[in-house]
């Protein structure tokens, strides 16, 4: 009985920590009735969308200067309509590097990584052969494209990408919007189900710091909270389970007390 009581107390005490840990990686997705100007980085529709600061760090690429990256965090906002997902990324960058005309010039760039299967969390470094990822890539000099990867060095271009981008550099910040229809238009493309959360990771290249290829700042896996109510339901299930254990424990203690009182 004592062990059961301790288990109940421990589970109840640990539950808030589990909730807090999950929330730390949440990017809320605001549902909007219409696209309005969500496709524009400076659109008024973004004013009501919650912003999440996502920490970035070097990926430690095995290239000269691979651990030297400039961007320490990116602000991410997410919104959707019934048909389309919009992600706005914003990060500090004193200069806009949008040309690769000279020999040593590298353009600023950014990317969003999503699992091909929204139910999985692949290895963060471009997935694996069993758990592939989609990468939405934007380059200030060349525009955007969609990529498929199944591990480092396996990246292939997805032709006729459905991902659209728009970017602006104002003051000392880039603001960039990625958008795509929720439903996949072909195999090996992430199908974004509005009733399920989906993992997402982010990367930024600072061209002015000679960053390119594997030399980049990247995040851990976060998740786009497309279905907050579903997540809450999962936690409620755990709470009800804890409550059930407590009821059973109380009943057993009561029965034992009655038995001892009767001298059984």
Dump pLDDT digits (tens) for 163-190.
999 999 999 999 999 999 999 989 999 9
pLDDT, tens digit (0-9, with 9 covering 90-100), for 4-49: 444 444 444 544 554 456 789 999 999 998 778 999 999 999 999 9
Instruction: Kindly list the distances between the CA atom of residue 149 and the CA atoms of 68, 133, 138, 184, in Å, as whole numbers in the listed order.
Output: 24, 5, 16, 16
For CA atoms 51, 81, 194, 189, give the dihedral sign.
negative
Exposure on the CB side of residue 25, measured as CA atoms within 13 A: 16
Kindly tell me the number of DSSP H helices and DSSP E strands found in the chain: 2, 14
What's residue 253's pLDDT? 45
Residue 247 binned pLDDT confidence (cut-offs 50, 70, 90)? very low
Q: Are 214 and 66 in contact (CB under 8 A)?
A: yes
DSSP state, residue 122? -
Tell me, yes or no, if the pTM score tops 0.85. Answer: no
Residue 238 phi, psi dihedral angles, 5° rounding: -65, -45
Residue 225 phi, psi dihedral angles, 5° rounding: -85, 80
- β-partners of residue 222 are 200
Q: Kindly report the length of the chain.
A: 264
Tokens of 176: 């960039």
User: How far is residue 60's CA from residue 66's CA, in Å, rounded to a whole number?
Assistant: 5
pLDDT averaged over every residue in the chain: 83
Q: Indicate whether 112 pLDDT > 60.
A: yes
Number of neighbouring beta carbons within 10 Å of residue 259? 10
């Amino acid at each position: 009985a004592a062990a059961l009581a301790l288990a109940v107390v421990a589970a109840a005490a640990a539950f808030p920590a589990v909730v807090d840990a999950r929330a730390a990686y949440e990017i809320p997705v605001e549902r909007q009735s219409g696209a309005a100007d969500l496709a524009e980085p400076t659109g008024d529709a973004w004013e009501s969308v919650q912003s999440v600061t996502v920490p970035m760090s070097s990926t430690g690429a095995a290239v000269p200067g691979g651990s030297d990256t400039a961007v320490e965090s990116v602000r991410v906002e997410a919104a959707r309509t019934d048909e389309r997902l919009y992600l706005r990324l914003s990060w500090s960058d004193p200069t806009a590097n949008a040309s690769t005309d000279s020999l040593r010039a590298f353009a600023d760039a950014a990317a969003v990584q999503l699992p091909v299967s929204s139910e999985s969390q692949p290895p963060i470094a471009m997935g694996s052969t069993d758990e592939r990822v989609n990468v939405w890539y934007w380059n200030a000099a060349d525009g955007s494209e969609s990529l498929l990867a199944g591990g480092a060095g396996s990246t292939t271009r997805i032709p006729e990408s459905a991902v659209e981008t728009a970017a602006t550099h104002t003051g000392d910040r880039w603001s960039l919007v990625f958008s795509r229809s929720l439903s996949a238009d072909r195999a090996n493309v992430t199908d974004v189900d509005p009733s399920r959360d989906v993992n997402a990771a982010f990367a930024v290249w600072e061209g002015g710091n000679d960053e390119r290829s594997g030399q980049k700042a990247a995040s851990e896996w976060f998740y786009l909270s497309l279905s907050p109510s579903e997540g809450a339901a999962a936690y409620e299930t755990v709470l009800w389970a804890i409550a059930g254990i407590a009821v059973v424990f109380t009943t057993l203690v009561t029965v034992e007390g009655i038995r001892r009182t009767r001298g059984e």
